Amino acid sequence: MDSRSPLRRTFLAAAVALACTACAGPGTSPGTSPGATSGAAPASLQRIRTLVVIYAENHSFDNLYGLFPGADGVANATPLQRTQIDHDGKPLPELLVFGSNGQPDPKYPRLPNGPFRIDAPPVGKRMDEHVPSPIHAFWHNQEQIHGGANNLYAAMSQVGGWSMGYYDGSGMKLWQWAREYTIADKFFMGAFGGSYLNHQYLICACAPRHEDAPEAMRVKLDANGHLLKLPDSPSAAVGAVKVVSRGGGQVSADGWSVNTSQPAYQPSGVPPAPNAPIDLADPKGSHAAGVPVPPQTTRTIGDTLSARGVGWAWYAGGWDAALADGRQAPDVKRKVIYANVEGSPIFQPHHQPFNYHARFAPGTADRARHLLDGEQLLRDAAGGKLPAVSFYKPAGRYTQHPSYTDVKSGDDHIAAVLDALRKSPQWNDMLVVVTYDENGGYWDHVPPPAGPGWGDRFGPGTRVPALLIGPHVKRGFIDHTIYDTTSILKFITERWGLEPLPGVRARVGDLAHALN
């Protein structure tokens, strides 16, 4: 049977679904409706009065925690999952790391076919060094997962074999927090692909609509639903794969916006139009970013929290500076937004999901009330003034995103935020969830759950780290319950008795199994 055939993918998906059903922990609820609640929340949830979600960037579970004692780590990968195959289904003879020209990068050694340590010879990169950033896009991720085999990561990456690298994370400060509290080793990114769509999944379990996107932003797929490869696309044993769609295609054929696109409001990667309102992105877009996504009206967790009168905020590192940067004339060079220069927070507009929604447009009361600068989080924590639900997005410099920052800077920053939260007057009733938007294109061996109630056309994607921290969290615990990003929304919905969001998956856990 062809290793990439639809029949094989169906077989693997069914096997994964059966395996997931068998291993579902007490935190899963087979057969229940998304976020369903039968009255009052369970006592374990009711004890949580303050939730803080810290959203880091671009690492799979195996990439950072694959050596964590007792977790389902790299050593458990099967030969099928470890051995990367070429586009013809045959094992790669070795792993090559490709440079920006799509050819083998002489800075990196040729490696045996399989996972390898980034921070050990022969690669020997430290956690405080910048490293290549594997492509992390919607259709790439689906092909890499390959129906659960997880063996097309190298072939479907612009950096080739680098996608198979992982660290010994035991020196990280966050590793010590994981040892003290709970680490979830079956937590999957809510959607296939990159940061843009997974940030939307964090707040609404939905993909934005961009029905009138220009043709240049539309994906090009072959008859099997795979990215259309160029005729001269090489073997992965020679060079990086070449596809028709730039960046993998920002918009699906039927109008779903799934890969990095810009908001219509500042701060945006698209500057204002000349002689136009400075709070808005130029509706004509730009050559590099395309046309901005139309303001969205889908319900978010912010809408459902507000409807119940529950306080909440999205705190973003560098928000105030990025607002000022974005509201400058279009011919002024940006020093904050996507600016990797000294002193810049390297602010990423596509990491700000509420800024894509009409309810939070510039000038609205909801924008002023709920979208706040990251420094305000620390002040509110110290003063005991955090709302019931807080989301914290570190500035780009501290997210651990490969290429423009490093692992150590983000580890130090997030650990410092955790220390500040533990000193807060609200700590005694607090739950902190530290997780990652997506895998950053890095390999992970555990297949995502699939099948009714577990997944849909948008995900879930690759496994990512998730730490649950707080006085009511089990200590020194590894939670094997199946979760994805929508589990956070399920927890919020059940704890505060909200109207469920339709995209939350019925069978994923609600985080309760990690609580005492």
Length of the chain: 516
Query: Do the domain assignments include residue 1?
Result: no
247: left (phi over 0), alpha (psi -120 to 50) or beta: left
- The tally of domains found in the chain comes to 1
Q: Which helix (H) or strand (E) holds 434?
A: strand 430-436
Query: Do the domain assignments include residue 55?
Result: yes
Question: Are residues 460 and 189 in contact, defined by beta-carbon separation less than 8 angstroms?
Answer: yes
Order the strands of the 430-436 sheet from edge to edge: 371-373, 312-316, 389-393, 50-56, 430-436, 466-469, 182-184, 477-479
Q: What pLDDT does residue 247 have?
A: 61
The three-state secondary structure class of 145 is helix
Q: How far, in whole angstroms, is CA 381 from its chain's centroid?
A: 25
Query: Do the domain assignments include residue 80?
Result: no
The three-state secondary structure class of 26 is coil
Q: What pLDDT does residue 35 have?
A: 32
Strands 187-188 and 430-436: unpaired
Query: Do the domain assignments include residue 348?
Result: yes
Query: Do the domain assignments include residue 224?
Result: yes
**Can you name the residues that pair with 459 across neighbouring β-strands?**
456
Q: Which helix (H) or strand (E) holds 390?
A: strand 389-393
Q: What pLDDT does residue 40 have?
A: 64
The structure's pTM equals 0.92
H-type helices in 36-172, by residue range? 43-46, 61-65, 79-82, 138-145
What is d(CA 228, CA 218) in angstroms, rounded to the nearest whole number? 12
* C-alpha to C-alpha distances, 362 to 7, 103, 336, 357, 358, nearest whole angstrom: 49, 45, 19, 10, 9
Query: Do the domain assignments include residue 317?
Result: yes
Q: What is the CATH number of the domain that holds 180?
A: 3.40.720.10
Name residue 291's amino acid.
V
**Three-state secondary structure of 62-75:** HHHHCCCCCCCCHH
Q: What pLDDT does residue 44 have?
A: 86
Query: Do the domain assignments include residue 18?
Result: yes
What is d(CA 417, CA 420) in angstroms, rounded to the nearest whole number? 5
What is d(CA 57, CA 341) in angstroms, rounded to the nearest whole number? 20
Give me the tens of pLDDT residue by residue for the chain, a chain 516 residues long. 344 433 344 334 434 443 443 333 333 332 333 333 335 678 889 999 999 999 999 999 999 999 999 999 999 999 999 999 999 999 999 999 999 999 999 999 999 999 999 999 999 999 999 999 999 999 999 999 999 999 999 999 999 999 999 999 999 999 999 999 999 999 999 999 999 999 999 999 999 999 999 999 999 999 999 999 999 999 999 999 999 876 669 999 999 999 999 999 999 999 999 999 999 999 999 988 999 999 999 999 999 999 999 999 999 999 999 999 999 999 999 999 999 999 999 999 999 999 999 999 999 999 999 999 999 999 999 999 999 999 999 999 999 999 999 999 999 999 999 999 999 999 999 999 999 999 999 999 999 999 999 999 999 999 999 999 999 999 999 999 999 999 999 999 999 999 999 999 999 999 999 999
Domain membership of residue 39 as a residue range: 6-73+87-93+103-514
Query: Do the domain assignments include residue 349?
Result: yes
